[in-house]
Amino acid sequence: MPCRRKKAKSSLEMDEVGMKILKAMAEMKAPAGCGEIAKRAGIPTLTLKVTGKLRPFLNKGLVERPEKGEYITSEAGLKLIK
């Protein structure tokens, strides 16, 4: 029997951890790595959790990756948290 896939969240729907990450990134003035973002967001330094949240954000255009391993909030991400 095949596994059921979870329904995808809409592009504007976001959980509490995701919102913490975006808000923390918006406060940062320069691109940052997952460890630094986790500390700023108050998430235990489980960078995998941050990395897992950032992938869909990249796909939706909410964050940008100017350099490998560093992320910054995009204009669309800033609009979403305001």
pLDDT digits (tens, 9 = 90+) for 21-40: 999 999 998 999 998 999 99
Q: Which domain holds residue 29?
A: 16-81
- The domain total for the chain is 1
Element (H, E) at 16: helix 16-27
31: tokens are 């691109």
Q: Quick check: is 9 in a domain?
A: no
The first and second tokens of residue 15, run together, are: 């959980």
Distance separating alpha carbons of residues 3 and 40, to the nearest angstrom:
36
The string of pLDDT tens digits covering residues 48-61 is: 678 888 999 999 99
Is residue 20 a part of any domain in this protein? yes
The predicted model scores a pTM of 0.76
Does 11 reside within a domain? no
Residue 2 lies in a domain: no
pLDDT at position 82, please? 83
- Establish if 49 belongs to a structural domain: yes
CATH at 56: 1.10.10.10
For residue 10, name the pLDDT band (cuts at 50, 70, 90): very low
Of 64, 40, 67, 68, the residue nearest 54 (C-alpha): 64
